[in-house]
Amino acid sequence: MRLFSGLVASLAASAGLASAFNVNCNSNYVSYYGQNSAGNQKTLGEYCKDSTEDLIVLAFMNGFPNIIMNFANACETTFPGSSLLHCPNIAQDIKYCQSQGKAVILSMGGASGAYGFSSDSQGAQFADTVWNMFFKGSSDQRPFDDAVLDGIDLDIEGGGGSGYVGFINQLRSHYASDPGRQYYIAAAPQCPYPDSYLGSTLNSAWFDMVFVQFYNNYCGLNAYPTWFNYADWDNWAKTSSVNKNVKIYIGAPGSPSAASSGYVSGSTLSTIYSAVRSQYSSLGGIMTWDVSQARTSGLAGAIRSALDSGKTCSSNPGGGGGTTTTTTTTSKTSATSTTPTSTVVEYTTTSTTSQPTTTSSPSTCPVNGGKCSGNQQGCSGQKFAICNGGSWWVSSCAPGTYCYLNGNMATCDWANGRPTDGCSVSGSMSFSKRQDLIAVNKITKPSLRPKPANAKSKTSTRVEFVVSELANNQFSTVIKIQTNKDAFSGNWSISFTLPSGQKIESTSRGSASTNGNTVTIKSDISREESKNMAAIFKISGTYTGEYVLPDTNTASFATS
């Protein structure tokens, strides 16, 4: 591998830094920037004034190939006569961060947006556009002016998996045209292996770094060591990845409100990191969502301290440039059959008005060695199935859990009132005695998408209710409000119906009032940013009987 060189390396040397970002080390700290998740996001340059983070991921380009970008309050200006963001301040900050030895890459995708490719050829064509707009190419409109990024991250959570191999191969051919500089390809898959959107791409294209999101899933950090599955990703890195020296990162929420589930304290994360580092040479470091959350909670400082103790760096060849070799391999994932010991229950609910079509059941449920196609996944009671080379590979869920389809992905989960028999297979709408979509008033882990709230302004938002803790008839529930496109002001409120038997005692953001069973949370304008893409906070109170999350269909959001 070529050392981090060119303009960035020379600037780092002139600034007196000992070294620049080194992809071959296991002590790198990566954090996402741009979505103002904590509500107090600073400029990019402010986060680069110290040595906490090694690599910053700009989030997001959430629309492509018709480009849409969103960086919340960090950039709101556009090119004249265009909706494309023009961010000169971020451009200057990118160059400053690079002068401090940090790498800056752009994330494509995210949890919401309109993106995806129809084919590899369309992906390759878009790679030309990306090179011209964000790297060493030329374009009439460059969102970051003459700043040159260090790479691209794929955080694909929708839109299908087509075209990304063509995109990566073509972008790497552009990388190779500038051999004096190191460029990177990264991905941010969910922790269940294989990833439902990027699974085939991860096996077929070059990646330098993979930031695995060990949160919002059964295999998250909060499930360590029972269901935490870093071993699956290490096995992928060494057996199935095109780049056998790819680095795997432990992705963590930056605070309790940064994700629906998966947050652990700094000391616990340090313990997990040390254990992984002692066992797996694929480790690259830790990633957090996002920098505003991790800096506010103090987790970022704890991560930096953990990473600085006993780091090692390899001399593996590789890097983002050069030609691409495609390999075809097969691998199997393992299931752990031990019982979790955590006493904290974390759930979410999402309301839906549609139900799956119930027809005749599949002629056979997935069985080991049975025929399947493509990237199909399936469920049969307490067993999950993955299509591997045209044949089903079937394994058992952890004791007490059952397999349910989340879109096209099989996930082991608590039943929570759902059917526990019959089978279902992705790519078909055939179900037998089961219904993978759940009723509004059921509690389930965070596997379903949030629903739109009724907005009393021009800002379209989505709201999600997530249980943080249930104990002794007391509850803490996280409320997540997010807009997909237009920012909302610091003067906002959200109202919703509180289920029977519940009483709110406090809110971590703004003030709460109750009228009958309708609760209204109103922001404190003096403590809010003028423009926001999200508001995430926690309400606490008491309940009697069975705890039920609020119905998102009753939520109403207003902003001026």
Active site residues: 157
Distance between CA atoms of residues 409 and 426, nearest Å? 7
Write down the H helix ranges in 176-265.
199-204, 230-239
Residue 252 bridge partners (DSSP): 288
DSSP 25: B
Give the C-alpha distances (Å, rounded to integers) separating 76 from 309, 324, 327, 486, 531.
40, 37, 42, 10, 9
Beta-bridged to residue 410, according to DSSP, are 405
Measured CA to CA, the distance from residue 502 to residue 476 in angstroms comes to: 11
Of 266, 247, 232, nearest to 313 (Cα)?
A: 247
DSSP E strands: which ranges in 484-553? 492-497, 502-507, 511-515, 518-522, 534-543
- Quick check: 498 and 504 in contact, CB under 8 A? yes
Q: Minimal CA–CA distance to 440: which of 422, 456, 416, 421?
A: 416
Query: Residue holding tokens 């309940």?
Result: 543
Q: What spatial distance separates the first Cα and last Cα of the chain, rounded to whole Å?
A: 52
Tell me the C-alpha distance between 419 and 427, whole Å. Answer: 20
Kindly state the tokens that stand for 547.
Answer: 């705890």
The whole-angstrom separation of Cα 72 and Cα 69 is 9
The angle subtended at Cα 296 by Cα 475 and Cα 215, nearest 5°, is: 55
State the Cα torsion 211-215-218-221 to the nearest 10°.
90
